[in-house]
């Protein structure tokens, strides 16, 4: 899967890049369609004046063939926001797989 990472109001360090690639990039395991797909991930802060509360956000768009899956999360920890996005995308992939299996069994 091709992965495009952009940052807003934060610096993308090598450990942060590796974390995003590990979490979002691992979604293609078990989903052969994702090998040709791509993901666009945006992480950062919504504004410069936020000092407390949910100051970080992560959002991802996953393109699989003609389908597009999207998830977003805000959190006080950037890595937790990335993990939340990953879990939301995993749930959407599971739902998509269930629908696909239901269509196949319904045709028989």
Q: For the chain, which residues make up each domain, given as ranges?
A: 2-107
Instruction: Check whether 43 has a pLDDT greater than 70.
Output: yes
Q: Give the pair of three-digit tokens for residue 27.
A: 């979604």
DSSP conformation class of 66: T
Can you give the pLDDT at residue 49?
Answer: 73
3-class state of residue 46 by DSSP:
coil
Q: Sorting pLDDT into bands at 50, 70 and 90, what band is 107?
A: low
Strand partners, 63: 38, 68
With cut-offs at 50, 70 and 90, classify the pLDDT of residue 28. Answer: confident
pLDDT for 44-103, tens place per residue? 998 777 666 678 999 999 998 888 999 999 999 999 999 999 999 999 999 988 888 888
Give 108's pLDDT tier (boundaries 50, 70, 90). Answer: low
Fold topology of 2-107: Double Stranded RNA Binding Domain (3.30.160)
Supply angle C-alpha 38, 58, 9, rounded to 5: 110
Q: What is the pLDDT of residue 60?
A: 97
């Amino acid at each position: 899967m091709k992965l495009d990472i952009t940052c807003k109001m934060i610096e993308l360090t090598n450990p942060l890049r590796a974390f995003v690639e590990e979490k979002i990039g691992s979604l293609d395991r078990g989903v052969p369609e994702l090998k040709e797909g791509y993901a666009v991930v945006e992480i950062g802060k919504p504004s410069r004046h936020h000092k407390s509360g949910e100051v970080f956000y992560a959002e991802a768009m996953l393109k699989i063939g003609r389908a597009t899956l999207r998830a977003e999360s805000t959190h006080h920890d950037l890595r937790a926001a990335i993990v939340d996005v990953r879990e939301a995308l995993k749930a959407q992939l599971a739902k998509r797989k269930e629908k696909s299996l239901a269509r196949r069994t319904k045709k028989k």
